[in-house]
Copies of this chain bind each other. A is one copy, B any other.
Amino acid sequence: MEIFIDSDKLKKVLNIVARAVADTKTNPVLSGVKIEAANGRIVVTGGDEEITIVREISLGDDKSERILEAGTILVPIKYFHELIKKLPNQTIINIKKNNRQINITAGEIETTLSGMDEEDYPSLPRFSEENGVTIKGSLLIEMIKETQFAAAKVNSRAVLTGVNWLFSENTLTMIATNTQRMALRKTTLNSTVSGSFILPVKALGDLVNSIDKHQFISIYPSENSMVFKGKDILFYTRLISGTYPDISRIIPEESITELVVSRSLLLQGVDRANLLASQWKHNNVTLSLTEDGKIQVASSTTEVGQITERIKVQDVNGDKSLKISLDGKFLAETLKSINEEMVSLIFGGNLRPVIITPYNKKSTLHLISPVRAS
């Protein structure tokens, strides 16, 4: 195997693939990145036990990039990526296999890395392109960002550490919850796929990092895995097995108070309140309404101090005696995940979950359960 390739292109692809490559000692072959050159195509593959990224590099027309000899190599990603990153930009790199050694040359820089046995690298799972859904990259990234933060962290029920993707006729709904808060994002799409799938949060982060927001991405779900296909990328992830809880029952239907407020002003206020709430187990931040119809954000920590601020609301309806304590960290994360400038807060009572949505947009819905103020 011998290729000539532009250093900038290789850097860009390795930045994407390297993030996903395992830093594992249980399966050393996964610490490598595979480069295949054949039929005018160079394909870079890397991943871990959960995901695999396959990225194609298209060669330029001017013959400075070319495949001199087809073949496959497997090199330790750590050294290979660090080395390629440190090579000059806008240079042609020559990569050549020499028995188990990989020679990497750029101008007067000559490097040899010990290769790994490419035969040991796991082959890609087969998948069918019959049953799929196509979605714009930017929408997919937006939906993932609006939900994944709400999933449970480690040491929870396995299904809750992932994000539930529900395909039903012409609709995709993403849901994440850690039982104290929930994020839900829905979209309509042209789809015949149906079913419920649970995607690991780490895979979703790598997916967002890997796909081009301007491309259309095709999604092919199967029982154990999901495949994402773009113009020059294939992204495989394993699914989390198990049954995701039905959250439709927990969304409150009655409200006693509703208000509309600037997302950024509320977020800044909650951020400040979190300073003095951070010593609490639950980051208690208390929301209430003032007599003149402002929303008041407050927190306190004994022996340190207290903070109270009032924020003008655009609109408020219903019971003004509301007073509710929430986990300020959950509230800040929720507000950060929303793109719109105005948000609606819908309260069902002091002990009921709060609903937070972008103003006048029903496709995104967040729930945060109250904590008992001490």
Measured CB to CB, the residues of A under 8 A from B are 76, 79, 82-83, 86-88, 101-102, 108-114, 268-269, 271-272, 275-276, 294, 303-311
Give the contacting residue for A111; candidates B101, B271, B307; CB below 8 A. Answer: B307
Nearest CB of B to A73, in Å: 13
Q: How far is the CA of A101 from the CA of B272 in the complex (A)?
A: 18
Nearest CB of B to A114, in Å: 6
A-B contact pairs, 8 of them (CB 8 A): A79-B304, A83-B272, A86-B271, A88-B268, A101-B305, A109-B307, A111-B307, A114-B303
Q: How many copies of this chain does the complex contain?
A: 2
Residue of B nearest to A113 (CB): B305
Q: Is the CB of B79 within 8 A of A109?
A: no
Nearest CB of B to A177, in Å: 29
Q: Is the CB of A113 within 8 A of B275?
A: no
Shortest 10 CB-CB contacts between residues of A and residues of B: A113-B305, A109-B309, A111-B307, A108-B310, A86-B272, A112-B305, A110-B308, A112-B306, A82-B275, A108-B309
Nearest CB of B to A237, in Å: 30
For A113, the chain B residues whose CB sits under 8 A away are 304-305
Q: Is the CB of A114 within 8 A of B272?
A: no
Q: Is the CB of A108 within 8 A of B311?
A: yes
For A86, the chain B residues whose CB sits under 8 A away are 268, 271-272, 275
Nearest CB of B to A116, in Å: 11
Q: Is the CB of A304 within 8 A of B114?
A: yes
Q: How far is the CA of A110 from the CA of B296 in the complex (A)?
A: 11
Q: How far is the CA of A43 from the CA of B87 in the complex (A)?
A: 50
| Most chain B beta-carbon neighbours within 10 Å: one of A108, A114, A306, A309 | A108
Add 14 more A-B contacts to A111-B308, A113-B305 (CB < 8 A).
A79-B305, A83-B307, A86-B268, A86-B275, A102-B305, A108-B310, A109-B269, A110-B307, A111-B272, A111-B276, A111-B306, A111-B307, A112-B306, A114-B304
Nearest CB of B to A317, in Å: 22
Residue of B nearest to A299 (CB): B111
For A307, the chain B residues whose CB sits under 8 A away are 83, 109-112
Q: How far is the CA of A88 from the CA of B264 in the complex (A)?
A: 12
